[in-house]
Structure 1
Amino acid sequence: MTLRNISIRQLEAFMAVMETGNFTRAAERCGITQPSLSQAIRELEAELGLPLFNRTTRRVEPTAAGVEFAEDAAKILDDLERSVASVRDLALLKRGRVRVALPPLLAASVLPEIVARFQRDHPGLTVDIADVGTDQILDHVRHGRADIGIGTFAPGEDGIASTHIMRDHLVLLYPAAGPLAGITSLPWQALAEHPLIALRRESGIRRLVEAGHEEARIPFRPAFEVHQILSAIAMVEAGLGVAVLPTYALLSARARTVGSAALIEPEISREVVQITAAGRTLTPAAHAFADLVRTVLRRSTRGGGTVGRAAGAGTEGWRGD
């Protein structure tokens, strides 16, 4: 026997008769006509192969099978109601979880404000954070360990859909008390006169910095090489040299004694994007979080324009309010 023909409508009609003991009142509760309710009960009995009610002209009484079936039918309807309410809570952003993967610097600088604002607006939602490198971000998104990823990625990544957030220009960070104090823009060629603190070869930023040196026709000879942007910023603060970093690195330099200048001739930028797994539908919570990420990062640019193009772009324009 298959139960594929038993419907929620039939179960609701059955329970209404059980609880009211009357077909007329049961039909009124269900919002249908009495003939329609009677038909639903007959169809249910035919599917089960047993009568569920003894009918007389004066009263309706459940059979033994009806009494036994009522326990399971009530549980089915209760479970369904809870499931529907739970899914509606997801749709209404009352409950849910967002998993986001992004580079450590963005996680340390931009993300805390975004998460705080998100949970203030949606206190029932939680956020799982993976602060990892670019390859790991792609892996997390592809394999469903992250709903969204944020960063800079090569175009045409297999299984990945991307949404543009902003363009980010490389800028120069220098010791605030050094010889470059007060400089708001600088040609790349001038970098040859200062010790350079660079990221190591596996960094995509390093490759852009090398391209800038090549286009400016100056040798690329780092005085120091580090793995992390935060390490480079700390070394600039210590007066050990200058660093060429993305504009959002200024967020982590808010409390540090470093200055910044726009690099010109050439101007080098990269696209910051938000990625998801191609063909995978985002949950309502992930949609809301993704929208907030784009809004905050785009508003962080001066006047909604390109990050870092204004000479001497400071950190105050990066606030998400």
Structure 2
Amino acid sequence: MNFYNSIQESDEHDPMDPPPLRALTLRHLQCFSVLVQEGHFGRAAQRLSITQPALSNAIKQMERLLGAPLLERTTHRLALTPLGAEVLERTDFVVNTVDQALRDIRNVVVRGRAHVRIGVIPSASRQVAAAVAAFEARQPDAVSVEWADAPSTELVERLRGGQLDVAVAAITEAPEGLACTDLFRDPLVLVVHRDHPLAVARSASWKALGSERLAFFESGSMPALGGPARAQFGEGGPQPLRVRYAETLHALARSRLALGLMPRLYTVALHDPELRVVPLRQPKIERRVVLLRRPEPLRSAAARALAEFLGERLTALAARRRAAAPAA
């Protein structure tokens, strides 16, 4: 039966489960998800390959089945109601999970490989890519990997929404509702011009920064680490500059406009004769780099094997680096 037609209530149902909810279909959920993404009935209808009246009817039917509005409609915008926001979180997970299941079937049938979606913070991409390459060398053609690089906050939301299978992210606290495996710690360091007095130091304390202006990333774990650490352990100073990209942070340090404050991972591939990397201690502030996934089992044996391999490989790599590092 076409879901746009009126749906007859089933005679057999759990008395604790209102019958109208059983009438919700995947197509209802797809319409709602796409409409919220596009924020416009015309664009959403075009993307769904249906007419705009059909889309409008689908949303109205969904609201009738739920017994409350999902959207607030004005002349210029669509906004989610509180119920709509709750429903959307679950809707996106269902829609994304079904889409991924279909992609899994296609990959297994056509290519003979499981499809795995990995999210990674840019600073850890080098280590994660090397680990995935090592896994593929051991089990060639076992998986087809889709990559997503983004700040940790975005990776967490995409995991919750069913758009990723696993993610390597940097956190200060374990995200609620996700399984979390600690991989290693990534300390904060300074990036300074080679002529800066701190450039020749083996390490620097937070108090030694004095009234220097700092620059750090505006997203990810840095706002929760850099600003509070400066306030608690430093001696004040001007408001920090908040930037989006490492290249901008390096440019500010190179031009002596600020001292760059960033996780050490971002400096591994930094080869700039104008800049120096100085460890920050007293105290040492670190972010947790973790492997995240939803608590339920992954869809395929190959996906589970890859997730386990990533955890083991990255943890072992960090242990070797700690053993090889000179004593402070």
Query: How far is the alpha carbon of 1:138 from its aligned partner?
Result: 1.5
Give the counterpart of 2:136 among 119, 122, 126. Answer: 119
Query: How far is the alpha carbon of 1:203 from its aligned partner?
Result: 4.0
* TM-score after normalising by structure 2: 0.57
**Aligned mates of 1:204, 1:120 — CA distance in 2:** 33
- Structure 2 residue 265 is the aligned partner of structure 1 residue 248: yes
Whichever of the two has the greater Rg, that structure is 1
**Aligned mates of 1:307, 1:155 — CA distance in 2:** 28
**Aligned mates of 1:272, 1:101 — CA distance in 2:** 13
Matched residue type, 1:267: K
Residue 184 of structure 1 contacts residue 260 of structure 1 at CA under 8 Å; is this kept in 2? no
**Aligned mates of 1:308, 1:228 — CA distance in 2:** 28
- Structure 2 residue 295 is the aligned partner of structure 1 residue 264: no
SS at match of 1:110: helix
* TM-score after normalising by structure 1: 0.58
Query: How far is the alpha carbon of 1:255 from its aligned partner?
Result: 5.8
Residue 175 of structure 1 contacts residue 241 of structure 1 at CA under 8 Å; is this kept in 2? no
Check 1:282–1:297 CA distance in 2 against 1; reply closer, same or farther (3 A cut): same
What is the correspondence of 1:144-155 to structure 2 with a 5 Å cutoff?
A: 144-153=162-171, 155=173
Aligned to 1:163: 181
Query: How far is the alpha carbon of 1:217 from its aligned partner?
Result: 4.0
SS at match of 1:180: helix
Give the counterpart of 2:204 among 170, 186, 201. Answer: 186
- Structure 2 residue 175 is the aligned partner of structure 1 residue 175: no
- Structure 2 residue 296 is the aligned partner of structure 1 residue 276: no
Please list the CA deviations of residues 102-131 of structure 1 after superposition, one character each: whole Å capped at 9, or x if unmatched.
223323x43333343333333312211111
- Structure 2 residue 321 is the aligned partner of structure 1 residue 291: no
How many residues of Structure 1 are paired with residues of Structure 2 in the alignment? 221
Give the counterpart of 2:117 among 76, 81, 99. Answer: 99
Matched residue type, 2:297: R
My pick for the range that moved more, 215-224 or 241-250, is 215-224
Matched residue type, 2:115: R
Matched residue type, 1:293: L
Matched residue type, 2:117: R
**Aligned mates of 2:291, 2:262 — CA distance in 1:** 20
Matched residue type, 1:232: L
Provide the identity percentage.
22
Residue 118 of structure 1 contacts residue 292 of structure 1 at CA under 8 Å; is this kept in 2? yes
My pick for the range that moved more, 115-124 or 295-304, is 295-304
Check 1:234–1:218 CA distance in 2 against 1; reply closer, same or farther (3 A cut): same
Check 1:279–1:296 CA distance in 2 against 1; reply closer, same or farther (3 A cut): closer
**Aligned mates of 1:158, 1:307 — CA distance in 2:** 35
Check 1:299–1:156 CA distance in 2 against 1; reply closer, same or farther (3 A cut): closer
Please list the CA deviations of residues 138-162 of structure 1 after superposition, one character each: whole Å capped at 9, or x if unmatched.
1221232211011123545332111
Give the counterpart of 1:228 among 242, 245, 255. Answer: 245
Matched residue type, 2:208: A
Aligned to 1:137: 155
